[in-house]
Amino acid sequence: MNKLVETILDHRSIRSFEDKLLSKEQIETMVLCAQAASTSSYIQAYTIIGVTDPEKKAALAEIAGPQTYVEKNGHLFIFCADLQRLQRAAEMENADVTEALESTEKFLVASIDAALAAQNAAIAAESMGLGICYIGGLRNNLPEVSKLLGIPKRVIPLFGLVAGYPTNPSAKKPRLPLENIYHENEYQSDPEVFNEQLEQFNRTIRSYYLKRSNGLRKDNWTCQMTAMLGKKSRLYMKDYVESQGLNKR
């Protein structure tokens, strides 16, 4: 197993950082790595906003939870799906490409482009000995995030990524059984096999939580997921994304 694979497999989300900022060089390396990712048809449909302003960081931390590590970290990146750049490109060529920009296809392309880029940045950070955590909590209130960051139409802040020097390295969290994630030649949908795999994972995660909590935490994956999905969470998203001029047709 090579070093890079080891780094990838050793990932854990870090939620507590030293009071030490990343250097300009570290930030640039992360962004250049993000940009080196594959991009659909060369579209490069994302923008990354680095947030250093303490008031903005505090406000974003509040929106995201509150989560202190959104405020206290080495650097905070916000990854946005961005089709506004493409609109400008088309305007430079005197063309109207509204239909494409507003399509679900291009919304998907931009979101995937942004995520591929982000994961490169994350891995690069980890290779430099930094810890990272994705911040999906920003989606609690994207209109407010957009106001804070001056986000224009055709742009959606998808998630944050914090990086920094870890203080309390957390434990590596188990993943679903490989056979449940990876199927061959067709989607494996035998309900008995599938449910047994989830039960197996429930046993794994149950003992993981029991051990980490000294016997206090007793839930498992399926009940954790069910509780999470049962919350009426971010149901404004469809309207918001459409109001930004994306995912409309």
**Looking at beta carbons only, is 68 or 240 nearer to a second copy?**
240
**Looking at beta carbons only, is 19 or 36 nearer to a second copy?**
36
- Of residues 79-118, those binding a second copy (CB under 8 A): 80, 85-86, 88-90, 92-93, 95, 97, 99-101, 103-106, 108-109, 111-112, 114-116, 118
Choose which of 15, 17, 47, 67 interacts with a second copy (CB under 8 A).
47
232 binds a second copy (CB under 8 A): yes
Residue 140 backbone dihedrals phi, psi, to 5 degrees: -55, -35
Tell me the closest approach of the beta carbon of residue 226 to a second copy, in angstroms: 4
198 binds a second copy (CB under 8 A): yes
**Under 8 Å between Cβ of 178 and 199:** no
- Of residues 146-165, those binding a second copy (CB under 8 A): 148-152, 155, 158-159
**Under 8 Å between Cβ of 211 and 188:** no
Instruction: Report the phi/psi class of residue 140: left, alpha or beta, with left for phi > 0 and alpha for psi in -120 to 50.
Output: alpha
Query: Which residue has 């206290």 as its token pair?
Result: 72
d(CA 24, CA 30): 10
Among candidates 222, 78, 228, 96, which has minimal Cα distance to 159?
Answer: 78
Tell me the closest approach of the beta carbon of residue 30 to a second copy, in angstroms: 9
66 binds a second copy (CB under 8 A): no
